[in-house]
A and B are shown apart, each in its own frame.
Chain A
Amino acid sequence: MTRTPNSRFFGRLDGDIAGILLLAALLIVVLPLGLDIFRLNMVGKYLTYAFVALGLVLCWGSAGILSLGQGIFFGIGGYCMAMFLKLEASSPEATKIQSTPGIPDFMDWNQLKELPWFWEPFHSLTFATVAVVAVPALLAFIVGLAMFKRRVGGVYFAIITQAFAAILTILIVGQQGYTGGINGITDLRTLKGWDIRTDEAKLVLYFVNAALLIGCILLCLYVRRSKLGRILVALRDKEDRVRFSGYDVANFKIFVFCFAAALSAVGGAMFTLQVGFMSPSFVGIVPSIEMVIYCAVGGRLSLLGAVYGTLLVNWAKTMLSESFPELWLFAMGALFIGVVMVFPNGLAGLYQQFIAPRLGRLRPRSGSGAGAPIIPPHTAAD
């Protein structure tokens, strides 16, 4: 009994926590010191996508459920926050030149005479904050219930989520009097009287975002460490075996789908706060697939990998689009093919394969990084 499962468990814990501390140091100390506020705000924007990537690590990486519609939840979270901010920006004084003062400008342009009923509760920040998480989670619950109880899975599930992303985009664009249409909800100004457009506010929001992200990583780590996390891996492998071990498999899938949706929505809300608007271009099929690519590049089995992957891909996107805008789409396509063909476990897999063994030689018991425990050594090479 030299190595009980328990000692192994704590050995892994050390490595994960070390990785998270390293990320925290990078996000909270190194980047704010090294970047000007414009770039830092941009990193903050990238990090909002990392919430989505974290959700995908659990949903896709752990449980094997590929959702191509995470933009739905990112978008709804963002819209919930944007609705509150828009109402605050649409006080009767600020909008007195409109034919109906006191309602958002785009409603006035669309000849709406009063605020629609579903906008009313968004006067309250508390309601809006709860809605950011609750509305996407509820939607995910309904979709999950309808799909997983009927044992729809795999490719079919992915296609259906994609269809939902398309439907939601069309709905938002089509109902522009209620949603701001293709332009989205723009011209957001203050949060409870605090101007979110100033450099100082952007700095504060960056730190709030980074702290939330670290919190979410810890939450994900808890879920993965729990028996539920292992059940997710088990049902990815042998769904029937889990079912015939006395588990209602659908409930576990619904849970992880809702959890991923809620995470994405937190990212969406932080996006709105930091960027100052929300539009259907962050909801549809293309952004949803891009989010999957962030996760895949970082490594769908690794929480930290997904965060680094998101940062890296977005940074590359910005750099390339600034200098060679026409090249970006090709680069993105090549990246996706590369991930699938050459390194299926993403950056985390490469780290695991090439760097971790070397670190191990330097330090007898080095950490494996938050995601690594379930990466089989040989699949990275497949």
Chain B
Amino acid sequence: MRVLRVTTAVALFLGLVGLVAVADAQQCPKGKLRLYTSWPMQGAMLPEGTGMKNGVDLAVSEVNGVVAGFCLEIVSLDDASPQTGKWDGAVEAENANKAVGDPLAIVYIGTYNSGAAKVSIPITNRAHMAQVTPANTYPGLTKKRGAAPGEPEIYRPGGFVNYFRPIPADDIQGAVAAKWAKHLGVKKVFVLNDQELYGKGIADVFEATAKKIGLPVVANEGIDWKQPDQKPVLTKVRASGADLVYMGGVIETGAQVIIRQMKEVGLVAPRTRFMGPDGLLEEELLKGATCDAALGTEMRITFAGLPFEKMRGVGAKTYETYKTKYGKEPTSYALYAAEGGRVIVDAIRRAAPQIEKAKDVTEKREAVRKAIASTKNFEGINGKWSFDENGDVDYDTMSGFKIVKADGPVGCKFQFETILE
């Protein structure tokens, strides 16, 4: 009896897990191609996840879902799950494998977290499937600068580039930030990082660049971001006499605490200022850190690309379309998701003859991958750009933001200050 019950339970288990797979059957004359997306779609990440999904939808809907006779279908996957509620390597691997295993899947769009991309790129690479990210900025995914040893080759078991990002990487941002700091007249920097992939990576690039351009760096210290008390660390900063704190981190990992408590230990402008990367460019940060403290540190933030409202041409148009279509401001990476979607649509259009001729799914994917790699002079939201041999964009337009007083419930906001090259 028990064995039978176990058998039934196992069958149920297997069956229920199977429910996740969703299939619908909309027929298209020239065949169907699927675009898989994978990033966190739950919890605190839900707004950004939805924004990026909207971006991809926008790009596909611009061509009414059909390119050169092929119907495009978006399969949206969530790579956050079990143990932590954040992105999860096991789920991301599962998503990538799911895409690779689907004979209709042509391109993989994702991820949000660079750590997740490390898991999925080798999987898609083996299948010759192009992967386009709207948000990964960790340099090592595509290039040597700011990378760990062995990167990025380790992500390319096939020996070719299949991973593309229409967004500048952190090595550019970290370097630009260091130059900006020097330009602002900073004499000595104390670098902090949250010991996560993004924060530590960008902090390392900042440190290296600063040293190279002759800006002294006291230390590059990992903090325990779970601590609500960062006064001892900030006392250390004060003792060092640094006049800038550069913090590599995101809003979930405690930059609020650093900014809030800088004031408490007397680290305020003009004595000491604060600078951070675009992971901190969220209004949420100001709520936690309070405007009082943020203004006190003359907080500055770098951002990869132009602010939406400063965009011209395609960028401005996309911004307006997005707002009309979805009735709200795009999230930080929503327009880059749209950009990625357009790059893919364009590549499929150019590769359409090869796709039709292809003998198997791998050849189809290879055709699209090659077409994406050869994207040149693309009319993007930040102007014209091309993919370089690493799959990176060849522009490095960055913008610098500064905290200013503002009306409204928060009381302050980030205001565009300058374009950084």
Tell me, yes or no, whether A binds B. no
